[in-house]
Amino acid sequence: MTDYKNPKHIVITGATGEIGGALALEYAAPSVRLTLTGRNEARLREISELCRKKGAEVSFKIIDVHDTELLRCWIRDLMAQDPADLLISGAGQNTQIGEDLSMEPYGDAVSLVKTNLLANLALIDAAVPEMRRRKSGQIAIIASLAAYYGLVYTPTYCATKAALKSYGTSLRTLLDPEGVGVSVIFPGYVDSPMCRAMPGPKPFLMKADRAARIIRKGLSKNRARISFPFPLNLGIWFLSIFPYWLANPLARIFGYGRNGR
Ligand SMILES: NC(=O)c1ccc[n+]([C@@H]2O[C@H](COP(=O)([O-])OP(=O)(O)OC[C@H]3O[C@@H](n4cnc5c(N)ncnc54)[C@H](OP(=O)(O)O)[C@@H]3O)[C@@H](O)[C@H]2O)c1
């Protein structure tokens, strides 16, 4: 049975990022094992050391999630040897339309689909069989509130996050009755390099440590969806259910119009 309140072994992809790093630090404690991944070795070492100082046992692995074969082999081996109680899939990237309203660079859009979508599928697909066999484990997929409405600046980012929303919801229905939790996380704006690089307004911007606390609380309750902050969540949820002729002008009023930058 999954102990959602006290996961003992937590695996985090994107642990070198603001949110992933904040989550590692949030969970770091004596009697907790953390397995962290990312590409930036210096940052991996740094965050590992900080987590060790909080008493956690930490190991890390450098992986480019575009290498889905390596990613799958690694998580399969890990699950066989030291199964994750909680797998947080947090690696992500962004791209955007041009200042001149040109389309996103196609190569960047393809790379983004690999990072934000295909890598998640590869990782989770390889981790699930062992969780199912053990009837225990939890998967946290970091999507975004951008999953709810296609924002003009970031078409491919929004598309991948919408796909994760559906994928996670499907898996939740499939796996929850077998004792395997699946939660999709929908942050609003969290201060990070990726967020800073994004054009457009960033209402209710929050720090990563606060986001990590909210995520942990939601995961401890095995919530299907963890969305925050509330006002932004409510606003984008309305955009998602309103007809386009109403949603589009409303989005423009809040600075998400074609010429709103
Ligand atoms: N910040 C926000 O406002 C916000 C809002 C909603 C959702 N999110 C989501 O939250 C997640 C974390 O974002 P963040 O804000 O913490 O951004 P961040 O600080 O820029 O971190 C991005 C993370 O993704 C990793 N990554 C990117 N491409 C990778 C690749 N090919 N292989 C392996 N790792 C890769 C980076 O690893 P390296 O640096 O080691 O390459 C880094 O750990 C993302 O999925 C993002 O979409 C963020």
User: Residue type for 142, please?
Assistant: I
**Looking at the domain covering 9-253, what would its CATH class be?**
alpha beta
Ligand 1, pocket-test mutation among 13, 26, 39, 158, most atoms within 8 A of CB:
39
Q: Which atom of ligand 1 lies closest to the CA of 91? A: 24
- Does ligand 1 lie within 6 Å of residue 144's CB atom? yes
Per-residue pLDDT of the chain (261 residues; tens, 9 = 90+): 889 999 999 999 999 999 999 999 999 999 999 999 999 999 999 999 999 999 999 999 999 999 999 999 999 999 999 999 999 999 999 999 998 999 999 999 999 999 999 999 999 999 999 999 999 999 999 999 999 999 999 999 999 999 999 999 999 999 999 999 999 999 999 999 999 998 889 999 999 999 999 999 999 999 999 999 999 999 999 999 999 999 999 999 989 998 764
Q: Which pLDDT does position 200 carry in this prediction?
A: 84
CB 240 within 8 A of CB 149: yes
Q: Which pLDDT does position 258 carry in this prediction?
A: 86
CA dist., res. 78 & res. 87, Å (int):
11
Q: Which atom of ligand 1 lies closest to the CA of 43? A: 40
Strand segments, DSSP code E, in the chain are: 9-13, 33-38, 57-62, 86-89, 137-142, 180-187, 225-228
- Does ligand 1 lie within 6 Å of residue 21's CB atom? no
Spell out the domain ranges in the chain: 9-253
Residue identifier of the C-alpha nearest atom 1 of ligand 1: 190
Residue identifier of the C-alpha nearest atom 35 of ligand 1: 91
Q: Please count the CA atoms within 13 angstroms of the CA of 167 that sit on its side-chain side.
A: 24
Kindly list the distances between the CA atom of residue 142 and the CA atoms of 9, 53, 248, in Å, as whole numbers in the listed order: 18, 26, 26
Tell me, in angstroms, the distance from the centre of ligand 1 to residue 89's CA. 10
